[in-house]
Amino acid sequence: MAESPITPRQKDFAAWYQDVVLQGDMAEPAEIVKGCMVIRPNGYAVWEGLHRELDARFKATGHENVYFPLLIPESFLKKEAEHVEGFAPELAVVTIAGGKKLEEPYVIRPTSETIIGHFFARWVQSHRDLPLLYNQWANVIRWELRTRMFLRTTEFLWQEGHTAHSTHAEAQEEVLRMLDVYADVAENIMAMPVIRGVKTQTEKFAGALRSFSIEAMMQNGLALQAGTSHDLGQNFGKAFDVKFQSKEGQLEYVWQTSWGVSTRLIGGLIMSHSDDKGLVLPPKLAPKKAVIVPIARKDEERTAVLEAAHRIAADIGAKVDDREGQSPGAKFFHWERRGIPVVLELGPRDLASGNIVLKRRDTGTKEILPQEGIAAKVASTLDTMQIDMLAAAKERLKANTVLANSIEEVEDILRDVTAEKGGGKFVMAHLKDDAVCDARLKEFKATVRNIPLVDEYDGAGKCLITGETVDRRVVIAKSY
């Protein structure tokens, strides 16, 4: 990949995002496959990091991994009325296989509630079979009309949790438990603050009773739905006849949940932290934490510098960029745009003084430090960066969150906001969970992102549109 300039955020945020993804070796458009992308090593390693962190938490909360088929009989999708209505426009369907037209077409899974419902029905007879706590790591296909790398692609990688419970209360607990897992990973691993909340009825998952989300704010002020957790009620239980006999001997439908996060998280990560110089990754997700760039003028210097660089690198677990024919300056730019958290410079001056230069990717600050104890210093710097990056992102979220007390005010704030121009805000306002309100927001392309679980503002107030009393302010924003 040639190293071209990166469009500044201020000039065109969407162009900047694409430049960062490309120049950071994260991914590139698949080109020959519409709407799809190739995830490159630097990008896939970030996904592996998220996979590792999430999977550990799923296991810790009692879930087991499973795998269901990619292909789902078309009739399955139709069993849940809302579900089919929601997904029909974005399905890819296999109609010919083995050279013959299929009797019943298969859809390529857009999500797996239906096929899992079918098998749940076979596996559940008694309340003793419950709960079923499963998770699947998979790819899905949704025929999107407009794609952006990581944020929305035709095919994407995700995990989908699917659970079945004997009571609604237990299912509801599960829904919130997993939402908290997502919030934990977002904030403590990705350094991306999120707002946990309930989706409005118009925005909920097709087939759910209620959907919950974590919403993050990107640097352009747009909202990104970073994860969802759904209370499916008994909708799929009824559609797929998933029944169990209770302790009391009654036949009842199971209460199900589903929850997922996707490679979209990587897009959120990029738009949370990166700058005009390229990718910035939080240390906990950076595939490589530190690189040493040796600086040497003459051959005899080179030998000594490289020897010291490798010795220090082994101590830290860092990589030495000993490529020849590349100036140190070129190497600094190279690693900078790939988001390496820490770059260490080691040259003749440092050899003489016993020092080494440490540069932080997030703040760009350089420090001259003794080589002695540099491993511990790198480790503590990485810890500090992780904390500072979350703090900076929280600060930005706070600075761009405003209160509004009339619908005109909301509209004034958000009307001219676009992904390219930026200037987006989270507008906190009292609004009823009602289709009329959602429709009014749609006039200026904004949506209720969610109704926060925790009210950080002034409690109840009158809905700006219906005038009815609602118990807290909701998050209104433009979103990806």
The SS3 assignment for 150 reads coil
| Position 151 contacts RNA (CB under 7 A) | yes
- Nearest approach in angstroms of CB 40 to RNA is 13
Ramachandran region of residue 359, left (φ > 0), alpha (ψ -120 to 50) or beta? beta
| Position 357 contacts RNA (CB under 7 A) | yes
Taking contact as CB under 7 A, which single stretch among the options 146-154, 249-257, 379-387, 425-433 is the one that binds RNA?
146-154
- Nearest approach in angstroms of CB 123 to RNA is 27
| Position 477 contacts RNA (CB under 7 A) | no
Considering only residues 92 through 131, tell me which ones interact with RNA, judged by CB under 7 A.
Answer: none
**What span, in angstroms and rounded, lies between the C-alpha atoms of 373 and 53?**
29
The SS3 assignment for 8 reads coil
Which residues, 6+ apart, have CB-to-CB distance to 243 below 8 Å?
121, 124, 237, 251, 252, 253, 254
Considering only residues 11 through 40, tell me which ones interact with RNA, judged by CB under 7 A.
Answer: 14-15, 18, 29-36
Considering only residues 360 through 389, tell me which ones interact with RNA, judged by CB under 7 A.
Answer: 364, 366
Which residues, 6+ apart, have CB-to-CB distance to 7 below 8 Å?
15, 16, 19
- Nearest approach in angstroms of CB 261 to RNA is 8
- 112, 159, 263, 274: which one binds RNA (CB under 7 A): 263
Considering only residues 178 through 207, tell me which ones interact with RNA, judged by CB under 7 A.
Answer: 205
Considering only residues 266 through 285, tell me which ones interact with RNA, judged by CB under 7 A.
Answer: 277
| Binding characters for RNA, 57-86, by CB under 7 A (x = yes) | -----------------------------x
- Nearest approach in angstroms of CB 109 to RNA is 12
Considering only residues 204 through 233, tell me which ones interact with RNA, judged by CB under 7 A.
Answer: 205, 225, 228
| Position 137 contacts RNA (CB under 7 A) | no
Q: How far is CA 314 from CA 267, 309, 345, in A?
A: 32, 9, 15
Which residues, 6+ apart, have CB-to-CB distance to 468 below 8 Å?
432, 462
Instruction: Name the token pair of 383.
Output: 């810890």
- 273, 334, 425, 472: which one binds RNA (CB under 7 A): 334
- Nearest approach in angstroms of CB 248 to RNA is 37
- 144, 184, 187, 322: which one binds RNA (CB under 7 A): 144
| Position 147 contacts RNA (CB under 7 A) | yes
295, 324 Cβ separation under 8 angstroms: no
- 11, 52, 128, 445: which one binds RNA (CB under 7 A): 445
148, 159 Cβ separation under 8 angstroms: no
**Burial category of 278 from C-beta neighbours within 10 Å (exposed 0-12, middle 13-18, buried 19 and up):** buried
- Nearest approach in angstroms of CB 270 to RNA is 13
- Nearest approach in angstroms of CB 405 to RNA is 25
Q: Which is nearer to RNA, 130 or 417 (CB)?
A: 417
Smallest CA-to-CA distance from 448 within 404, 390, 391 is with: 404
- 350, 433, 434, 438: which one binds RNA (CB under 7 A): 350
Longest Cα separation, the chain: 86
Q: Residue ranges of the alpha helices (H) in 201-256?
A: 235-239
460, 473 Cβ separation under 8 angstroms: no
- 42, 114, 153, 235: which one binds RNA (CB under 7 A): 153
